[in-house]
Structure 1
């Protein structure tokens, strides 16, 4: 066995292959090939969208700079305060009406990653802009198996009238490959698991898939021999990383498989197809998807992804936290104390799920730090106050240090109507894109480095 391995090294087994996390022996300084110009772990970007705005009094810190007091919604991120920046004052002008009347929810998500003002239509003549994730994928997407991943908890739609004459394509997709090409989301953890781990390098054979489905064997069972062989050749620190990674994969696979009860034949063999993997409880569904996000980044399967907690204008209720009213209905609080309290509960529910992701990534060692250290993750909404439907002073949070390029742990206040797209220009530049303009940007966002 060689003393060092490529980032493309995989574990192989009967008709399938499983990607590996970034190990120390894959460090560019130890690789024999000089194919990669990187001097450390790869940089990743991600975008996490929540609908219907925010209860801003519980979101906005009272002080700027370091050591700011965490308001009630952000208190769920107390363990990560030194790894985030709260960015106030950013604006999404493309989500404003500009003479088109109602439809702020659809516009807010359609413009969130594009900076464009979508054409108001519920027909086939949709028109938006390319999104920042897809634009960046043009520069770095060929470095990974998936140029990008589009994920969420509610399915995408490509037609229909979803918001005051705006197509459902706008309301349920935030990633756009081009002005007329929304990218549908994957919402099934089981299907996503299969995309990440089943038949990665060589196509999984029908025989192997049949055996695995018949006896409910783990994908890892098929690569165990190769994993044990590799384990013996690694230094102690990489042996530990490999063990932790394989445990995580097995754990996620078990949780997906346990979503639906097995239907057994008389001889004890399952007789049902691959389970859908979508738990009924939103919290469990979301946490499984966040585990997938971690694994996708950890294996360098992709460096770019987007995630919609729910679609724009979602009126989902949240019985898990005692909110029986719909989210959209509650966001139109009309200064009702009861509704404002409920919208704040929903906001905290979402941020807690994001905190779960940050926990997982922080606990995943990579290079001289953690997986989170090598990411820049945007969390927020294209609407500020759901009752006012305003698109200025948005609730935007940036997590991760981008490989040391971001000075974290601050609340940064930007000037009035600073374009959100200025942030995207800065992020694209860190990813290696040679650009100084995106959407309605008027520069690259300052104060981050």
Structure 2
């Protein structure tokens, strides 16, 4: 690739009234006659942490065989198209999430300590304390290069305060991200608020309703600048810009459609949040799209995404599951409940697979976003019926800009701390802390 014009800055944005739209990586951002690997076009390393609550049904989760010759389990079957980008890791333990004399509260400790390996302080008050999480350790370094150091998203409401779980503050279940040991990061569940944080102003409900009623895309305010930019781009860059902006428009249209539905449809619960879809599938799809857009525009390189709060009572009517998830996790070895729990696990994995599919379909430099991202998917709870924390259900996916090789089922040595895996992930992102929580080293074989 040879480019003779002056390069566009990597942080090029299109600005209009109330909008600032960052651009994806373009050929025109690579300085003339300079190798891509020595410019800002060198692939960014990204980390994503996706949490599932209530553990898993391991008989339907754990693959048969190890190494490259493993067979997909029923719950993990949706990941089959991404075999070469996936490593299933089994037998990891989070022993610091156990009771250690504090009694119940395993749900709180599971989510609070998943990314730190630190035992959460048992308190119902504001004096919460656990550990700085791996996402925030990464954000302190690779997050300095982007407008947002990190992005924290969730699907379940986190507006519960006070006591939630056996003497533990609700703060422990409301987030999986901790900026410091005593500072939890709030997780945003409203797609509209996330969209406007990424691309424009207007954070209040009144502002969002006014914008919806105007029925005008924020991109309309930067139309003239888009036209001027097109004259300086090659054919491939023009296509990338058009595809990227159309993805923004489509996401915005879907958010507005959801808002309109929520505005005009009566619900039994008063004061329903504007812009939050009723069903898991639509909500998760929107939040995934927003994360892909944020990565594509290099607005952030670190995300956390919780499919649900621990002890979530969500049902999944789209797949015929009307039992609350938490109730199913307390299956007491009932075959019918186990089958339905396995179906919920597979549905979550299929949603994760859709995330991988969208990353794989999005160009990024000389590869795709999936090539340049490392994603962790799993839970701090092992078996919701036993409230234990070993073995954990864990999947890694992506490419980590060439540092991660998939296509394997890796069975760790018994009692290997989950934090060893987190350290290895941070290494692949170019962040190298000496230790994390109860780590004993890096994960062997990864």
Per the normalisation by structure 2, the TM-score is: 0.91
Q: 1:213 to 1:385 in 2, by over 3 A?
A: closer
Q: 1:120 to 1:28 in 2, by over 3 A?
A: farther
Q: How many residues align?
A: 431
1:143 deviates by 0.8
In structure 1, C-alpha distance between the alignment counterparts of 2:73 and 2:195, rounded to whole Å: 36
1:147 lines up with 2:169 in the alignment: no
Q: 1:39 to 1:93 in 2, by over 3 A?
A: farther
Q: What residue in structure 1 maps to residue 195 of structure 2?
A: 193
Q: What residue in structure 2 maps to residue 216 of structure 1?
A: 215
State the Cα deviation string for residues 60-104 of structure 1 (Å, max 9, x = none): 111111242111111111211111110112111221111111111
Q: What residue in structure 1 maps to residue 371 of structure 2?
A: 373
Q: What residue in structure 2 maps to residue 357 of structure 1?
A: 355
In structure 1, C-alpha distance between the alignment counterparts of 2:77 and 2:170, rounded to whole Å: 34
Any unmatched runs of 5+ in structure 1? Answer: 265-274
1:17 lines up with 2:17 in the alignment: no
- Asked whether the 8 Å contact 2:25–2:41 carries over to 1, the reply is no
- Asked whether the 8 Å contact 1:123–1:159 carries over to 2, the reply is no
Q: 1:238 to 1:100 in 2, by over 3 A?
A: same
In structure 1, C-alpha distance between the alignment counterparts of 2:213 and 2:277, rounded to whole Å: 22
Written as runs of structure 1 = structure 2, the 5 A alignment for 1:340-419 is: 340-419=338-417
Q: What residue in structure 2 maps to residue 299 of structure 1?
A: 297
In structure 1, C-alpha distance between the alignment counterparts of 2:241 and 2:19, rounded to whole Å: 18
Q: What residue in structure 2 maps to residue 5 of structure 1?
A: 8
1:113 lines up with 2:111 in the alignment: no
In structure 1, C-alpha distance between the alignment counterparts of 2:423 and 2:121, rounded to whole Å: 24
- Asked whether the 8 Å contact 2:124–2:169 carries over to 1, the reply is yes
- Asked whether the 8 Å contact 1:157–1:169 carries over to 2, the reply is no
1:235 deviates by 2.2
In structure 2, C-alpha distance between the alignment counterparts of 1:327 and 1:211, rounded to whole Å: 36
Q: 1:28 to 1:69 in 2, by over 3 A?
A: farther
1:261 lines up with 2:260 in the alignment: yes
In structure 2, C-alpha distance between the alignment counterparts of 1:15 and 1:32, rounded to whole Å: 36
1:211 deviates by 9.0
1:31 deviates by 7.3
Written as runs of structure 1 = structure 2, the 5 A alignment for 1:5-404 is: 5-27=8-30, 40-157=42-159, 159-198=161-200, 215-261=214-260, 276-404=274-402
Per the normalisation by structure 1, the TM-score is: 0.90
Any unmatched runs of 5+ in structure 2? Answer: 264-272
Q: CA RMSD for the aligned pairs?
A: 2.5
1:402 deviates by 0.2
Matched residue SS, 1:66:
coil
1:123 deviates by 1.6
1:348 deviates by 1.3
- Asked whether the 8 Å contact 2:90–2:410 carries over to 1, the reply is yes
Q: 1:30 to 1:111 in 2, by over 3 A?
A: farther
Q: 1:221 to 1:55 in 2, by over 3 A?
A: same
Q: 1:328 to 1:137 in 2, by over 3 A?
A: same
- Asked whether the 8 Å contact 2:404–2:428 carries over to 1, the reply is no
1:429 deviates by 2.1
Q: 1:340 to 1:358 in 2, by over 3 A?
A: same
1:357 deviates by 0.8
